[in-house]
Amino acid sequence: MYSKIALKNIKKSYKDYTIYFLTLILAVCIFYSFNSIDSQKALTDIKSSGGNYVSKLMDFMSAVSVFVSIILGSLILYANNFLIKKRKKELGIYMILGMGKRKISKILVTETSIVGVISLIAGLIIGIGVSQGLSVFTLKLFEVSINEYRFAVSTRAIGKTILYFGIMFLLVMIFNAFVISKYKIIDLLTSGRKNENIKFKNTFIYLLSFLLCVVLLGFAYKSILKIGLNLREPMFKPSIAFVIVGTVLFFFSLAGVILYVVNKNKKIYFKGLNMFVVKQINSKVNTNFLSMSLICLMLFITMLVLSTGISFKNGLEEGLKIKAPFDASIRISNNSKKDNLEDVLDKINFKRSENEKYATCNEYIPGIKLNSLLSITGKDYKDAKVSFVKISDYNKMLKLKGKKEINLNKNEILIMSNDNTVVKQANEKLKNSKKFNIKGKEYLVKNNKIIDENLQNYFFADNMLTIIISDEFLYDYNGISFSILNVMYSDKNREKSNKKYSQINKNFVDGKYKSLNISYMSAFSKDDIYSGSRGATTSILFVGIYLGLVFLITSMAVLALQQLSEASDSIERYKALKRIGANSKMIDKTIFRQTLIYFALPMILALIHSMIGINVVSDYISVFTKIDISFSSLITALIFIVVYAGYFYTTYTGYKNIVESNI
């Protein structure tokens, strides 16, 4: 009996369920697709051959999926609450006819089960199709031939999707039972008559808030464009905070500002039903300014990630040429005067190979502070000291890389750094003067721009500032701070060589070299750094796209549900419109315009935010590689148009049907 009533209710209210179905299907599709990326055999082969970054990616995605499930679960509860609210009168009639709250709960549980099963099946079918495209994309990111692609269905991802969404639907059922138990018949039957009271604040407060919003956003945009993606800059975090506060103030003040501006222009205000549309928009934005602010920020993140994510990943990987300029490197701290680098290598039984070429380099830190050469501020630079390297050692490294050696006069130096702040300030100084005063003596910088690279392989750009100077300058200085062995080798025994250096690093971390009097030792091959970085950048990209798509459907669903809720709450207003002579065409036009404006408002500000964000990210990436985001921007625009248009049309028709069936 309950199944028949539930099915009849779903058929009768299928128009109300459209947004709910659409959201559930998209949620299931995205959830399955991103949890099935390891189903490709080619990726499994990478994993089994030691490429642990695929396993790490899946572990990372699993952790993020828990967070995503919380977002989607909250969204499903929000959507379900809308459906319950809309059906209050129907539920009240059930109670009048003698049906108990427990039986009503059983009907709702059955409805939720049917809707859940249909959504799961449809979402999984679409998800299996979408996951094939995602698999091809993944293979390309991991530089695996597309010929390795095979059609695959992940039973593990299907099971995980059913489990997670099963829990969500169970929570919805519990929520419904709890809500029904709290309702009274009188509240259910009179819910349609209760209308939202629109409270207008002082116009001056709105105008002042809007002015403050413009100032905050303008200042934040200017600051971020100036400092870029430099997280060390003191103004970076405040600028992000100003964007968030400015966004909230924008939506808080928008309703009052629109009403004030349109009121001033009586010609527009009294044209057609503009007065009604403005009051409707004012009412909803006034009430939902916090949720609209959050939606705007989520849309901004989605646009930014989808537009620049791939280029950002490629830029970071291109930057590996700076971080890992050699095939392998060993670096030790030289706090012992007894053992030099060669002695340490002998003691750890380091075996030299015929296919390897070597160059040693000593790094000296004589205590000269960075801020004595550059007027640089910030806690990270307060106690930073400058490194020195002999020109003879630097030329050995150039020769190892197959580059031309450099001759320096006694009064000439070269400057190296890959710290963005230092590079920026040093390059600015070089434009004005190429002279540096070191220990009371003036030196001329030979390079026109700062040499942007590491002295040895490392996972990060860790060269704050290194000065290449004549050997004579360091002739009397015995305090070697670090000794470096840089290595280049052929591809013949590359894997064997890589393992040799990774084992040295592992041995030091595991404490096997405790007998040596050295406080620090590292050994990294270029391939290990590339592999680790590729895994990290790919994971970040996937999580960004995953969350971006979830944010997009969440934003659209919330906007849609708020508008449909507005339709139910505004029935009396539309009845009043009809009584004063407004025909169906005029009413449809007002519904279209207010739905379009409501959907467009968060999108417009998010688009402005993203234009600034894309500009900043593009500047950052352009340091490493030539950037072209036209294709990814086109794909982002296409995704937004399809999802936005789908939700907008569904909301508009749903809104129109609610009004038409009640007036």
Tell me the pLDDT tens digit for each residue of 532-548: 777 777 878 888 888 88
Long-range own/partner contacts, residues 609-615 (CB < 8 A, 24 or more apart): 609/243, 609/247, 609/296, 609/297, 609/300, 609/303, 609/304, 610/300, 610/303, 610/304, 610/307, 612/221, 612/224, 612/225, 613/300, 613/303, 613/304, 613/308, 614/303, 614/304, 614/307, 614/308, 615/225
Dist CA 566 CA 284 (whole Å): 8
**Lowest mean pLDDT, pick from 135-149, 284-298, 472-486:** 135-149
User: How sure is the predictor about 379, in pLDDT bands with cuts at 50, 70 and 90?
Assistant: confident
Tell me the pLDDT tens digit for each residue of 24-33: 888 899 899 8
**How many percent of the chain have pLDDT more than 70?**
89
**Per-residue confidence (pLDDT) for residue 392, from 0 to 100:** 94
Tell me the pLDDT tens digit for each residue of 443-459: 999 988 888 888 898 88
| Residues paired with 357 in a beta bridge | 488
- What are the backbone dihedrals phi and psi of residue 451, each rounded to the nearest 5 degrees, phi first? -75, 120
What integer is the mean pLDDT of 548-553? 89
Show the tokens assigned to 44.
């499994």
Tell me the pLDDT tens digit for each residue of 105-129: 787 788 888 888 888 999 999 999 9
Tell me the pLDDT tens digit for each residue of 198-214: 455 577 888 899 999 99
List the domain boundaries for the chain. 1-194, 195-325+524-663, 326-523
Tell me the pLDDT tens digit for each residue of 26-69: 889 989 988 887 776 656 555 544 456 667 777 777 888 888 88
Which comes out higher in pLDDT, residue 593 or 147?
A: 593
**Per-residue confidence (pLDDT) for residue 48, from 0 to 100:** 47
- pTM as predicted: 0.74
What integer is the mean pLDDT of 164-180? 84
User: How sure is the predictor about 393, in pLDDT bands with cuts at 50, 70 and 90?
Assistant: very high
Check whether 439 has a pLDDT greater than 80: yes
Tell me the pLDDT tens digit for each residue of 609-626: 999 998 888 887 776 666
**Lowest mean pLDDT, pick from 223-227, 457-461, 552-556:** 457-461
